[in-house]
Structure 1
Amino acid sequence: MSKHLQYNKAESKDVGYILNVLSSVHTVDQKLKEEFEKHLLRLRIKKDQILFNENEVCEYIYFIVRGALMGCTTHNKQKITTYISIENDFVSSISGLHGSDHSQEYVIAVEDTDLLAIHNNELNRLFTYHFGLNYIFRVVLEKYYKAAQQRSHIIRVGNAKERYLYFAKTNPGYLNRLPLDLVASLLNVKTSTLLSIRKNSSKPKEGNVDLAEFGQKLERYVNDHQLFRQKNIRLHSLAQKVGIGSHKLSVVLNSYFNKSFIDYINQYRVNWIKDSIRNPEIMQNFTLEALAYSAGFSSRSAFYNSFKKLVGMSPLEYSRNIGEEIL
């Protein structure tokens, strides 16, 4: 572990932040909250600073609050980028997960990065006594390994353009933010090749639209007015309500969020239903189908298909997991 890292006790806002992230997956009980208040740490590392080295034991699991990290290994004196992570990602040694072995990779900051951390000794102890934490990290690991499997598959069988398009779709915003040579290393293509593909694949800007500005405006409006709950919401009507043209809205959805209109709306609907399922009072009075219709889904099949696609399990399985934790 780098000798120059300075760990400090996390502030209450940091604890609240990480608990909100964890509770979005599974209910966090009071005892577990108290454990995080005792043991959660925070640190900041500068761009190009190493978080941990190859052949070291990674003593912590980290959560990125702000910034970006990349995992690297060396082969025949050549650096190979194995992953890139940004805000709201957990990061630790893959080969030495939970401090079980020496790390075969090193992790370095791509940007100035703020992190939260908990020591593996404490985390392993908490796994023994808290089912909810085990469930949360199972979901986190499943998400990571699914992404890793998809990435390794496309790198093995896809050509350079297919790798680029896959990365652009699954990591919205990365290409405009990260150094292109890092992305090229991750996708195992030459930087010059990636630059050429990116240039040829780029779409003309519509009136110099600031995608981030319009994207944030859209998020605020949909959240404030819960437009996703309208069964008849359409791209044209949404564009009118937000105050931008239909074509510009389509550009924002495709280029900024990397989502189709229906996937964008259904993500809101599913998140609203997940929040409702966590509320015992709501579940005593409403069926899952009633919640689905209230959220804006027009059919049971559309609800179940979208929920499983976005959550990785059926709404009934999700509801049962939440119910078991409450009991």
Structure 2
Amino acid sequence: MIKKPALIPVKSCYEILHFFNKIHTVSPAAADFLLANTKYITVRKGKYLRSPIDQEDVVYFIVKGLIRGFIKDEGKEITTWINEENNIVGSIRNMGLDEETDEYLQALEDCVVIEISRRSLDHLYDKFYEANIIGRKILEIYYRDAEERAYLCRLPTAEKRYRRFASTRSVLVGRVSLKYLASYLGMKEETLCRVRAKYQRPEKR
């Protein structure tokens, strides 16, 4: 049975407000609503934030740690994305659809996240115009990230996929375990070890 993450008893979640304010100024009324309808959650490494059995539709802002999304295909885990601090994550495969998702969200490190329900997000969109601007900007980020993942998985060789990842997500190269990175890049773990060793080896002059 998957255990629910633990709540941290704090008064407010200013990190997510700061994140939104960097995109567009948040009005005092919207800020009050946001801070009243978010909560901190701690998640231990290896634990799940979400699985297909969960009914509540929420998204998370990563304050600290590393999270991956994955699906299962015939018992095999396929990592679909990996994100670090200052990213908003959630199950977007069924976004806007009244149906269950087949996606899991798992902490790859001890994490602190801020949770907000989609119902609260919808209220922000309905009542505060700036929330729609912020939402559009975040959607643009999602789209660019999805386009990069689509490009990455179409590169024909394992070496090209790793080199692309190392150049565009260098901050994650040393943080993600080989098992999950290999799954994300669509290669066997031993292939990743070989490619990474070649990539790190200095070229002969």
TM-score of the aligned structures, taking structure 1 as reference length? 0.58
C-alpha displacement at 1:190, in angstroms?
Answer: 1.1
> Which residue of 151, 154, 159 maps to 2:152?
154
Displaced runs of 4+ in structure 1, greater than 2 A? 1-12, 55-59, 96-101
Task: Write the deviation string for residues 84-104 of structure 1: whole angstroms up to 9, x where unpaired.
Answer: 111111011112336843122
What letter corresponds to residue 141 of structure 1 in structure 2? L
Corresponding residue of 1:5: 5
Bigger relative contact order (CA 8 A; separation at least 6): 2
Decide whether the 8 Å contact of 2:4 with 2:49 is kept in 1.
no
Q: Aligned letter for 1:142?
A: E
| Higher fraction of strand | 2
| Amino acid across the alignment from 1:136 | I
1:39–1:83 CA distance, 2 compared to 1 (3 A): same
2:58 matched to which residue of 1?
60
Q: 2:104 aligns with which of 100, 106, 112?
A: 106
SS of the residue corresponding to residue 115 of structure 1 reads: strand
Distance in 1 (alpha carbons) for counterparts of 2:32 and 2:96: 21
Q: For 1:283-322, list aligned pairs within 5 A.
A: none
Aligned pair count reads 202
Task: State the distance in 1 between where 2:109 and 2:183 align.
Answer: 17
Letter in 2 for 1:11: K
Q: For the pair shown, which has the larger CA radius of gyration, 1 or 2? A: 1
- Corresponding residue for 2:185? 187
Alpha-carbon distance, 1:8 to partner? 4.6
Q: CA RMSD in A?
A: 2.0
Please show how residues 67-146 of structure 1 align to structure 2 within 5 Å: 67-97=65-95, 100-146=98-144
SS in structure 2 at match of 1:133: helix
Higher helix share: 1
Contact 1:69–1:109 (CA under 8 A) maintained in structure 2: yes
Deviations 1:129-149, CA, capped at 9 Å, x for gaps: 112112112211211221212
| Structure 2: runs of 5+ lacking an equivalent | none
> Where in structure 1 are there 5+ consecutive unaligned residues?
205-327
TM-score by length of 2: 0.90
Give the SS at the match of 1:56: coil
Mapped contact 1:57–1:96 kept (Cα < 8 A)? no
- Partner secondary structure for residue 26 of structure 2: coil
